[in-house]
A and B are shown apart, each in its own frame.
Chain A
Amino acid sequence: KNQVEQSPQSLIILEGKNCTLQCNYTVSPFSNLRWYKQDTGRGPVSLTIMTFSENTKSNGRYTATLDADTKQSSLHITASQLSDSASYICVVSAGQAGTALIFGKGTTLSVSS
């Protein structure tokens, strides 16, 4: 069964600190992996997209990694800001055409001052 598991479920860090969120997936056939940021009550906003051949993708203070062999991805946030407080969702595209999006449950990040 196609699944995307994220850890930790929630995380609290101090402003300015770094953190790493994890995503493990069992999705076949794999097409690509995306990280989204979702503020409470808002729609998800894309952070990064990685296809099979990409190992690292950066977007400002966000850096995503992908290990297709171990089926793991991470999202690293550097120098966290209060505005980073949100849910971070790992989404894996599956199927031959990649039209099936498998969502993780997300990691809720709280950045405090």
Chain B
Amino acid sequence: EPEVTQTPSHQVTQMGQEVILRCVPISNHLYFYWYRQILGQKVEFLVSFYNNEISEKSEIFDDQFSVERPDGSNFTLKIRSTKLEDSAMYFCASIRDRAPLNSGNTIYFGEGSWLTVV
């Protein structure tokens, strides 16, 4: 079973610090996503990424957030200056095809990175 791997599994950071969450998507996948889930709330879309650029982003994904694929395998989410309300589980996901969601292909989620901002 292919899997998306994320690191770190848990990170505690002080407010105002920069955080980088890392993801290794499944190797032949082309679309990548970041989602977050605040404790007790539903999963929220942050950003989708294809062909080395952002294809779509939500209103949550403001200037404090950025994504990149630095080396062709890792996919990172950077939060420049963390706020208390950034505390959440962040999920990376990937999917194989170029037009992934219309075709009904499976989206694979990682196990998440739990970020606590203090």
A residues bordering B, Cβ < 8 Å?
31-32, 34, 36, 41-46, 49-51, 89, 93, 97-101, 103-106
Contact = CB atoms under 8 A, between A and B. Distances in A.
A99 B56 contact: yes
Contacts of B41: 105
Contact of B48 (A89, A99, A106): A99
Contacts, number: 61
Interface of B: 4, 33, 41-45, 48, 55-56, 89, 91, 99-102, 104-112, 114
Main secondary structure, interface of B, reads loop
A32 B56 contact: no
A17 B42 CA distance: 27
Nearest to B114: A41
A45 B104 contact: no
Given A44-B91, A98-B101, A103-B45, 15 more contacts: A31-B101, A36-B109, A43-B91, A45-B109, A46-B106, A50-B104, A89-B42, A99-B48, A99-B55, A99-B56, A101-B33, A101-B45, A103-B42, A103-B43, A105-B41
